[in-house]
Amino acid sequence: MSQKSIVWLGSSRRDLQTFPQNARRLAGFQLRQVQQGLDPVDFKPMPSIGSGVYEIRVHTAVEHRICYVAKFAEAIYVLHAFVKRTRKTSQHDVLVSRQRYQVLLAQR
C-alpha cells in the first residue's frame, strides 16, 4: 500500500517543530498512521473547521493539537499545529485552521 504524502499549509510544519521532542515524536507517529490509511491513536472530528477535518490530540505535560484533512486522494493536508492551553480550542486556532482549509478548497 502506498502512503499519502503530507502537505504542510501555512506555518504548520514550523509550528509543529516547536513542540517538545516527545510531543513531536507522538505527533509523527500519529501522522504516520494517517499516511498508512489508519486512524490516529487519539483524534476527533472538527466540523466547525470544515468537512473532513480532524484534530490529532497529543498528550504530554501540555496539550498539543494538529488539525488535518485526509479525505483527498493525493495527500494529507496539515492545516495547523498548536498548543492547547484551555479546555476549549481557542477561536484564533479555529480561525487559522478554517482559513487554511478554505484556501486549500479554493486551490483544488
What tens digit of pLDDT does each residue of 45-101 get? Answer: 999 999 999 999 999 989 999 999 999 999 999 999 999 988 888 999 999 999 999
Q: Name the domain count of the chain.
A: 1
**For the chain, how many residues are written?**
108
pTM of the model: 0.93
Tell the residue number behind the cell numbers 479555529, with chain if given: 94
Strands 53-59 and 63-69, by their bridges, are antiparallel
Does the pLDDT of residue 2 top 80, yes or no? no
Q: Residue 19: which of 70, 11, 94 has the closest Cα? A: 11
Does the pLDDT of residue 9 top 80, yes or no? yes
Confidence class for position 1, pLDDT limits 50, 70, 90: low
CATH number of the domain encompassing residue 36: 3.30.2310.20
> What is the per-residue pLDDT for 15?
97
> What is the per-residue pLDDT for 24?
96
Calculate the CA 71 to chain-centre distance: 13
Domain with 91 in it: 5-107
**Mean local confidence (pLDDT), 24-48:** 95
CA separation for the pair 68, 82 (Å, rounded): 12
CA separation for the pair 102, 15 (Å, rounded): 20
